[in-house]
Amino acid sequence: MSRIKNRIRRLRFDHNEMTQEELASKAGCTRQTIIALEQNKYVPSVELAFRVAKAFGVPLEEVFKYEDSQKG
Amino acid sequence: MAPLQKRALYSFVIGLILTIALIVVFVAQGDITAFERDPNLRLIMYAVLIGVPLIYLILVNLTLRKPAQLDERDRLIIERSSRAQWLAVIFTLVVWTIALTEIYRGQGQVPIAFLKLIFIFTSTLIISTLAHSLGILVGYWEMNRNE
């Protein structure tokens, strides 16, 4: 499992219950990729990560975070 | 199911049916020598050999042309599958070369045509390995050039 976690599912609901299809359309990817991202089964490229953040109108770090196992 | 996944599933099922159909035809005709005896069968085989890769390329291109149906995750999966495809081709060539060599040696005679086939198999193996290394070198060279 990747150490990069995201809040896409939470943000979708906070943004007027945006559907996966709508987010996929705004971010320029397929709905299946959004599903994979939400389930933490796929780590996006930097470009896609920025596009997803832009689709929500928030900075990148509000969508994705790196969980460092060194920290407590 | 992703569009690429759906297309791959259809291609796999169609390919499997076609392969089984070809095996059934050869079994019904007796053996592999039917390829030489029956001109119709030979023409069908040529059509399959040319037609299948052509249709496959057209279908793949049609998918690749639609950006909404294909994103970076799909491209990553395509790249990984290409590696599996390359290994499968090489493995098949190696198995056929060894199997046929042993069969012919067991019979006490190796046909000249088979020796030519071995040459084709071996050169394909060498060229594919060289092309792979060359592809990596060109990839690094292009990236360094763009820096």
Whether pTM exceeds 0.80: no
**DSSP H helix total and E strand total for chain A:** 5, 2
Identify the pLDDT of residue B33.
75
The answer on B64 and B127 residing in a single domain is no
- CA distance linking residue B105 with residue B37, whole number of Å: 25
- CA distance linking residue B135 with residue A50, whole number of Å: 30
The answer to whether residue A71 is domain-embedded is no
The answer to whether residue A25 is domain-embedded is yes
Q: What is the ipTM of this complex?
A: 0.81
Contacts of B67 in chain A (CB under 8 A): 28
Q: Which residues contact A30 (CB under 8 A, 6 or more apart)?
A: A24, B2, B3, B68, B69, B70, B71, B73, B74
The answer on B123 and B87 residing in a single domain is yes
Q: Which of B70, B97, B129 is the last residue of a domain?
A: B70
Contacts of A33 in chain B (CB under 8 A): 71-74
DSSP strands (E only) in chain B = none
Is the pLDDT assigned to residue A26 strictly greater than 90?
yes
For position A52, which CATH number holds?
1.10.260.40
Chain A touched by B6 (CB under 8 Å): no
- CA distance linking residue A10 with residue A37, whole number of Å: 12
The answer on B100 and B52 residing in a single domain is no
Our count of domains for chain B comes to: 2
The answer on B89 and B56 residing in a single domain is no
Q: Which residues contact B81 (CB under 8 A, 6 or more apart)?
A: B8
Q: Is A28 in Cβ contact with B73 (below 8 Å)?
A: no
Nearest to A33 among B1, B67, B71 (CB): B71
The answer on B91 and B32 residing in a single domain is no
The answer on B85 and B142 residing in a single domain is yes
Q: What domain range includes position A17?
A: 4-60
* pLDDT above 90 coverage of chain A, percent: 83
Instruction: Report mean pLDDT in 10-residue bins for chain B, 147 residues.
Output: 81 84 80 77 83 79 70 88 86 88 84 84 86 89 79
The answer on B137 and B118 residing in a single domain is yes
Higher per-residue pLDDT: A47 or B67: A47
Token pair for B95 = 């198995």
Q: What domain range includes position B146?
A: 79-147
Which chain A residue has its CA at the smallest distance from B5's CA?
Answer: A32
Is the pLDDT assigned to residue A52 strictly greater than 80?
yes
The answer on B89 and B59 residing in a single domain is no
Q: Got the DSSP string for B94-121?
A: HHHHHHHHHHHHHHT---HHHHHHHHHH
Residue A5 binned pLDDT confidence (cut-offs 50, 70, 90): very high
The answer on B147 and B87 residing in a single domain is yes
Largest distance between two CA atoms of chain B: 61
The answer to whether residue A72 is domain-embedded is no
Chain A touched by B108 (CB under 8 Å): no
Task: Quick: pLDDT tens for B120-131.
Answer: 888 888 888 898
How far does the CA of residue B72 sit from the closest CA of chain A (Å)?
8
The answer to whether residue A12 is domain-embedded is yes
The answer on B135 and B103 residing in a single domain is yes
Q: Which of B22, B46, B70 is the last residue of a domain?
A: B70
Nearest to A29 among B1, B3, B71 (CB): B71
- CA distance linking residue A36 with residue A52, whole number of Å: 13
The answer on B54 and B114 residing in a single domain is no
